[in-house]
Amino acid sequence: PQTIHLADYQPYPFRVARVELTFRLSPRATRVLSRIAFAANPDRPGRHDLFLHGERLRLLSARIDGTPVPAAALVVTDEGLTVAAHALPEGPFLWEAEVEIDPEGNTALEGLYMSGGMYCTQCEAEGFRKITYYPDRPDVMAPFRVRIESDLPVMLSNGNPVGAGAGWAEWDDPWPKPAYLFALVAGNLVNLPDRFTTRSGRKVDLNIWVRPGDLDRCAFAMDSLIRSMKWDEDTYGREYDLDVFNIVAVDDFNMGAMENKGLNIFNSKLVLASPETATDLDFERIEGVIAHEYFHNWTGNRITCRDWFQLCLKEGLTVFRDQQFTSDMRSGPVKRIEDVLTLRARQFREDMGPLAHPPRPSSFVEINNFYTATVYEKGAEVIGMLKRLVGDDGYARALDLYFDRHDGDAATIEDWLKVFEDATGRDLSQFRRWYTDAGTPRLSVAEDWAPGDQGGTFTLTFTQSTPPTPGQEVKPPRVIPIAVGLLNPNGDEVVPTTVLEMTEATQSFRFDGLASRPVASILRGFSAPVVLERSVPAAEHAFLLAHDTDPFNRWEAGRALAKDTLVRMVAEDAPASPDYIAALGRLLADDALDPAFRALCLRLPAEDDLAQTLADTGRTPDPDRIHAAREDLARAVAQALERPLAATFEAMADGGPFSPDAAAAGRRSLRVAALALLNHLDGGARAADLFDGATNMTERAAALACLIEAGRAAEALAAFHDRWRNNRLVIDKWFTLQVVHAAPAHAAGVAGQLAAHADFDWRNPNRARALLGGLAANHAGFHDASGAAYRFYADWLLRLDPVNPQIAARLSTAFETWARYDADRRALVRAELERIRATPDLSRDLSEMTARILG
């Protein structure tokens, strides 16, 4: 397979003035007729061949200006077709083609495919070329008109509806767009309608389309959409620009959701929710993803990417915007902690392993392999840093300029940084490294205190360095915004949050006129995505846990204590730290603290996180010991805090009717966090009661998890399955819970049994992820010394690959941490990866991933 390089970018030689498509839908033989008006692109002077992407298409006819293209002038390959320059008219011309495609045979779920009897599409990144011949690249933008012919009751495409009759419907999208934003849906669907009036008075018809039977689970998604539309007007001044906005829920979907212009297509798990079927986490994700896809209308659609290397231009910014939205809708501090947990669990892990790449990569083989935590989550962190550096006003001015200057453009990271430079007068050349350099910087800090007559001077000296990543040995220093606050020993804040701007490899910052030596709260709000390497006495963490005014650092201090004690339990067989447990007890009892925040504090660091921490400090992580230590710590916490935990469990019980809002969800999260700890003492007694009595999925699923861990879940699992057998999303949970909470030694065995279950419809991406993702999430189970889980997992990657390469490639990241472990485990993983690599006809997706993971 060929490697594509950013440095090779060239504009497409033609412009597309207009696209007209007609679809004659048929499961095995859909006909697609295209009429595409081409003209020369002045940015690429000279005469050029016409190259159109196309894969798995049966070409039936091709004409230029009404005349069939002579066979001698046409070359068709697996990747597309070329019409020789000499066969093209000098001026603008009309390309007309008819192709036949097979939606039902499309198991890769890219292009036009079928899901549960409905037709749907997924074109990002390069799926449109599986629909018809076209310059399938994001810098080619055009207005589309689409006619759909079928006997299905609902037929949707992008833009506004312009006509419909018996067996047909027509849609027109006036906004020029790249082909990856094309969408078509047809099926027997029902809708939840609503209405939104934009601030300039445009009346927009909103619809959520689902299969009959799912209509009663759409209200929360609709509510989230309306709040998103309002928020984007209020916060970014961005208004919606069509007369309709449609969302469709699809059961078979590779990603979370897709921002197609005016016709968002969603994985049904990110639309459908009711208290009985969805957890609070599901509700929060639905709200966030509905917002994310809606926000793409401006950051992604109106302003798109010049090429796929710029993917973080739209994704980083849109994630940043959806994070802001969730903070505004819920709790800012809680959202920040959740985002940092995700960043560390997924992006830091990626950045420290063989798959590390910059937010803007400079080469790839398969772009689908770059929809990563680095592009998305780190892309958002980089914008958070920019905002911190230029301030809220500077950020607002830069964004206004971005929308003004680039509306209708296919833009680059350079364009993005230039608006910040022009709006604020700053030079961002060094800052740009965050986009081009991979790896997570390590930040160490030394403190100095010099008493004096006019007050003392406190000096913080920071040193940054970034370890090498694949293909990037040397990492020059970056701009790092370090938010710092200083506290007096009595707990008062003497220096409120100040952003220090570090630009050198080593740099000192002084604070003068202090009455006494302060305690420093560093990297407040997690002001930069770095690893802070700082060994401070446990007493100082305990002090910050009690007194820090910055909620993120308060949580972080507790986190540091938890990790400290866990590392010592693993590495030195030390007992659980009584100081940590006492500090946790004080926090638990502090009713002034948001329950959601307290729940986050009660959650112990994940086993994978500990493995990374141990590896970082030069130790070889032993998954079994890590698992045992975490269990021991949970038991010790439960024993020491049994009474307050039990009281909290009772106090946080739901009183009134279910509400998905942040306050009610926070109480439930504290309740189930207490339950998970108490479960170590009561052997599942409370969980059994809660499982029977729960009125919402958050509590029922948490109770089921506890019963599985307590080894007494057989009846509950059967009852759960029985009750929800017809709900695919709930059955996904049934699969995941059993594998995630299986005892490590049995995890592969449990996964094997579940894979043989009649409901294991592995061609459905959600179901495959439920089982295999669940196994990978069981750290000690996945890394069981027998290698059974590795083998099982690799077998499934090989089975999935020919059917759905995107899913196989994505799941392969479970192996990205293999170099951390001992020689025996490394040999086992290597053997599996080599076995995959040696398999004939591997997809481009999975072969690129295995090659990179093997290094």
Which parts of this chain interact with ligand DPP (CB under 6 A)? 124, 255, 257-259, 292-293, 296, 315
Task: Provide the minimum distance between the beta carbon of 122 and ligand DPP in the complex, in angstroms, as a whole number.
Answer: 8
Which CB atom, from 314 or from 627, has the smaller least distance to Zn ion?
314
Instruction: Decide whether 292 or 378 has the Cβ nearer to ligand DPP.
Output: 292
20's contact among ligand DPP, Zn ion, none, with CB below 5 to 8 A by partner kind, is none
Cβ distance 113 to 120 under 8 Å?
yes
- 173's contact among ligand DPP, Zn ion, none, with CB below 5 to 8 A by partner kind, is none
With respect to Zn ion, which residue has the nearer C-beta, 371 or 434?
371
As a whole number of angstroms, the distance between CA 660 and CA 222 comes to 14
Cα-to-chain-centroid distance, residue 578: 37
Find residue 482's DSSP bridge partners.
Answer: 500
* Catalytic position from the list 293, 350, 607, 832: 293
214 near 726, Cβ under 8 Å?
Answer: no
CB of 527 to Zn ion, least distance (A): 24
Smaller CB separation from ligand DPP, 258 or 273? 258
Residue 598 three-state SS? helix
Work out what residue 32 binds among ligand DPP, Zn ion, none; the CB cut-off runs from 5 to 8 Å by kind: none
Q: What is the smallest separation between the CB atom of 417 and ligand DPP, expressed in angstroms?
A: 22
Interaction partner, residue 258 (Zn ion, ligand DPP, none; CB < 5-8 Å by kind): ligand DPP
Give the nearer residue to ligand DPP in terms of CB position, either 270 or 780: 270
DSSP string, 57-104: -EEEEEEETTEEPPGGGEEE-SSEEEE-GGGS-SS-EEEEEEEEE-GG
Between CA 443 and CA 433 the distance in angstroms is 16
User: Partners of 368 in the beta sheet?
Assistant: none
Give, in order, the Cα–Cα distances in Å from 59 to each of 81, 97, 120, 667.
10, 8, 21, 59
Task: List the one residue out of 277, 249, 136, 233 whose CA is nearest residue 185.
Answer: 249
Helix and strand numbers, DSSP H then E, in the chain? 29, 31
Q: Are 809 and 846 in contact (CB under 8 A)?
A: yes
Rounded Cα–Cα distance for residues 713 and 688 (Å): 9
Give the contact letters, 257-296, x = binds to Zn ion (CB under 5 A), - = no. ----------------------------------------
**Binding partner of residue 255 among Zn ion, ligand DPP, none, CB cut-off 5 to 8 Å per kind:** ligand DPP
381 is catalytic: no
Residue 81 contacts which entry, ligand DPP, Zn ion, none (Cβ below 5-8 A, type-dependent)? none
Q: Are 485 and 524 in contact (CB under 8 A)?
A: yes
DSSP 8: G
The token pair at 179 is 């082909």
Burial call 808-826: b when 16+ CB within 10 Å, e when fewer: bbbbbbbbbbbebbeeebe
Question: Least CB distance from residue 372 to ligand DPP, whole Å?
Answer: 11
In the complex, what is the shortest distance from the CB of residue 255 to ligand DPP, in angstroms, rounded to a whole number?
Answer: 5
Whose Cβ is closer to ligand DPP: residue 221's or residue 754's?
Answer: 221
**Residue 247 CB neighbour total at 10 angstroms:** 25
* Shortest Å distance, C-beta 380 to ligand DPP: 11
- CB nearer ligand DPP, residue 257 or residue 777: 257
Q: Minimum distance from CB of 434 to ligand DPP (Å)? A: 20
Q: CA 652 to CA 167: how far, in whole Å? A: 55
- CA dist., res. 120 & res. 217, Å (int): 21
Choose the contact partner of 124 out of ligand DPP, Zn ion, none; CB within 5 to 8 A by kind: ligand DPP
Distance, CA of 337 to CA of 600 (rounded, Å): 8
* In the complex, least distance from residue 372 CB atom to Zn ion, rounded to whole angstroms: 12
Ramachandran angles phi, psi of 462, nearest 5°: -105, 145
| Binding-residue pattern over the window 302 to 341 for Zn ion, x denoting contact by CB under 5 A | -------------x--x-----------------------
Beta bridge partner(s), residue 315: none
Q: Which does 64 bind (CB under 5 to 8 A by kind): ligand DPP, Zn ion, none?
A: none
Nearest distance from residue 257's CB to ligand DPP, in Å? 6
Distance between CA 453 and CA 289 in Å, rounded? Answer: 56
For residue 117, what are its two tokens? 């009897």
Q: Which is nearer to ligand DPP, 224 or 648 (CB)?
A: 224
Q: Which is nearer to ligand DPP, 259 or 338 (CB)?
A: 259
Dmax over CA atoms of the chain, in Å, equals: 93
Query: In the Cβ-directed half-sphere of 44, how many Cα atoms lie within 13 Å?
Result: 14
Interacting residues with Zn ion (CB under 5 A): 315, 318
Q: Which residues are catalytic?
A: 293
